[in-house]
Structure 1
């Protein structure tokens, strides 16, 4: 392998974060499976082509539980690691089975009226304003209210989760790194107290169901319970915040597509699939490690090597998507990887899709003339190795 030092040195820079797609194009062409240095100093294999990404996501030789690596194992652990996202078979099947009952298509569809009600209430709160920050006033509160109501989290505690989840998602950012350990302790203590309350007096909420749930006679352990709840709270709203923000921004930047959606709101389902592909709110897959020495796409990967799939790069691979840099809300049967594939495909994808569908259609129905106030290049993008989204999205509601 002959590393492209010049190209790799430009990865994970501020310019890359604003617009990673030219770099992805070059990597797919020149070095589709490359060995790169991550922002935290670790090295990882970086997979950028669609077919390779799909294969890697499904390949169970790339494991999620690093404790199985023996001497190669990374000793770090956290409350966020004891869940199905970081488990391999058969543990993954057991953990996912315990949670999946709350995310059946029928149960998610049953939330439609409540999600619409929350959406309408949030938009009503913006009435009379001519300028808003879409993230703070709409994209963030909608999914956090939904997941907190599902979990039975009191309304007064919701804002805490923004601080805690930002810290965990963006731990590599110096702004959050110094407080990360304290935030993890605060989060853990909160969950301990909340679960203790639920054990004494269970209700109909999801935490209560997880506490008493049994799947083939097997209950969640205490650590697994914390891990699953942490995953649902953090992943359950973080990705949707960015999904809503990125989608509305993409449509505002492509007025022809937005006009088409306004005229034909029934296109919303294909529109959200296209905006997910076009600017995926999840930039990279979560970590995987090689279970053993292996060859993958002509590269020798050693046991214990870290593997990262660049989901946004795969979603812009011209070998899979015609004119991938073009937003086309009529694009059908999109096989994008925004929610992953294989056994670790996102459990909450149906909920995110429903929230996105309601949020986007409702927003543009209420504010058909909304416009971005600042140039996209002047927006501050979130850091970290998971989510892709802007910190703020200032919009003019009435032109």
Structure 2
């Protein structure tokens, strides 16, 4: 099976058929090479936490995995690491993403959200991705890292080129984006060393230069990952959540009636339409058996949290958006030692973004027919190309 067949446009239909037919499938992965796909909840949950499934590409059998092409200076990040390196680096940066630190960021996040909504005016039409869902996370994560304003638009363009290039984008565009990003981070680190600020990146540079607990490649790769993932996933989550509400007016009305349910609602948005169709690929360090299927060491394994989160064996009536459901145990943010480092921040940003939007505009409607909504051409990030909406302070 070619993983791209139908998955971009109708992922949950495809996953339903796969779950119903077998626990594990032999597929052609996103890079075109042979791989194994795991879709059932219990198998996915176990696989995400299984130490025999390595993230380190050095465990891949030669010639069986192409993957995301990044230079070593950007590739030495947590998504390619196992313990003990993973443990060491995660511990160094973990304090920046604790629930307590995130609480301190809530007021600045809300201030940014309000400023973006102020710019929209009292009523009109907009692409909510371009005007709100994208600039909010990039502002938050760049402020956290200390990235100057003048570079933020460039980073958004580079990220989009790598993750979901627009139709007609020349093949060399991805390489150009990587070269540009490498140059950007090289200069940014040099600037921060010369003039440190009150920001996370300056703190990490001090760790690298004073304690020698990070290599230079690890430092640069960590900065890249925080900026890349901190922006990309939250954009998709906010956009997907708004679309889900507009497609389910009963749930939108219920949330407007009781905004205290927003934190629980964010968990349902993560389960229902999370930002990743696939988790990071893994490579068995020994032969492993999943769902009764033995996968040889070194072969590529893709586990799908999105498929697991729609498994009726775990979540009754899983294709229905239900903001009041018990979402405990959803896997949208991972499981085990590789659980999403920025989960508290992503949750807070989405909650605040939705609260500000719903408070500001009593009228919020999809600006196109539901069949006209277009998803990004990416198996890595489930998100919208655009979200046209009509908004206002008065109901029609």
Same fold (TM over 0.5): yes
Alignment equivalent of 1:62, drawn from 33, 43, 53: 53
Alignment equivalent of 1:318, drawn from 289, 312, 324: 312
Tell me how far 1:60 sits from its aligned partner.
Answer: 1.1
**3-state secondary structure, aligned to 2:17:** helix
Tell me how far 1:66 sits from its aligned partner.
Answer: 1.1
Counterparts of 1:255 and 1:57, CA distance in 2: 34
Residues 223/172 of structure 1: CA separation in 2 closer, same or farther (3 Å cut): farther
What residue is the counterpart of 1:99 in the other structure? Answer: 93
Alignment equivalent of 1:153, drawn from 124, 147, 153: 147
What residue is the counterpart of 1:286 in the other structure? Answer: 280
Counterparts of 2:197 and 2:7, CA distance in 1: 46
Counterparts of 2:291 and 2:92, CA distance in 1: 36
Counterparts of 2:46 and 2:280, CA distance in 1: 15
Q: Answer yes or no: is the 8 Å Cα contact 2:208–2:216 preserved in 1.
A: no
Counterparts of 1:68 and 1:171, CA distance in 2: 29
Residues 175/28 of structure 1: CA separation in 2 closer, same or farther (3 Å cut): same
What residue is the counterpart of 1:186 in the other structure? Answer: 180
What residue is the counterpart of 2:347 in the other structure? Answer: 353
What residue is the counterpart of 1:378 in the other structure? Answer: 372
What residue is the counterpart of 1:52 in the other structure? Answer: 43
Tell me how far 1:212 sits from its aligned partner.
Answer: 0.9
Residues 279/215 of structure 1: CA separation in 2 closer, same or farther (3 Å cut): farther
**3-state secondary structure, aligned to 2:334:** coil
Once the two structures are superposed, what CA deviation does each residue of 1:86-124 show, in whole Å capped at 9, x if it has no partner?
Answer: 100111101101111111211111001100000000000
What residue is the counterpart of 2:263 in the other structure? Answer: 269
What residue is the counterpart of 2:4 in the other structure? Answer: 12
Structure 1 gaps of 5+ residues are 1-7
Alignment of 1:150-299 (within 5 A): 150-170=144-164, 175=169, 177-213=171-207, 217-299=211-293
Aligned residues: 390
After the TM superposition, which parts of structure 1 deviate over 6 Å for at least 4 consecutive aligned residues?
Answer: 171-174
Q: Answer yes or no: is the 8 Å Cα contact 1:32–1:49 preserved in 2.
A: yes
Tell me how far 1:150 sits from its aligned partner.
Answer: 0.5
What residue is the counterpart of 2:27 in the other structure? Answer: 36
Q: Answer yes or no: is the 8 Å Cα contact 1:97–1:215 preserved in 2.
A: no
Are 2:384 and 1:393 aligned?
A: no
Tell me how far 1:84 sits from its aligned partner.
Answer: 1.4
Tell me how far 1:281 sits from its aligned partner.
Answer: 1.0
After TM superposition, the score normalised by the length of structure 2 is: 0.94
What residue is the counterpart of 2:132 in the other structure? Answer: 138
Structure 2 gaps of 5+ residues are none
Q: Answer yes or no: is the 8 Å Cα contact 2:64–2:300 preserved in 1.
A: no
Q: Answer yes or no: is the 8 Å Cα contact 1:171–1:177 preserved in 2.
A: no
**3-state secondary structure, aligned to 1:138:** helix
Once the two structures are superposed, what CA deviation does each residue of 1:152-209 show, in whole Å capped at 9, x if it has no partner?
Answer: 1011110011111112223697626421111111100111111011111211111101
What residue is the counterpart of 1:26 in the other structure? Answer: 17
Counterparts of 2:223 and 2:165, CA distance in 1: 19
After TM superposition, the score normalised by the length of structure 1 is: 0.93
Counterparts of 2:60 and 2:349, CA distance in 1: 38
**3-state secondary structure, aligned to 1:12:** coil
Residues 232/173 of structure 1: CA separation in 2 closer, same or farther (3 Å cut): farther
Tell me how far 1:73 sits from its aligned partner.
Answer: 7.8
Residues 74/260 of structure 1: CA separation in 2 closer, same or farther (3 Å cut): closer
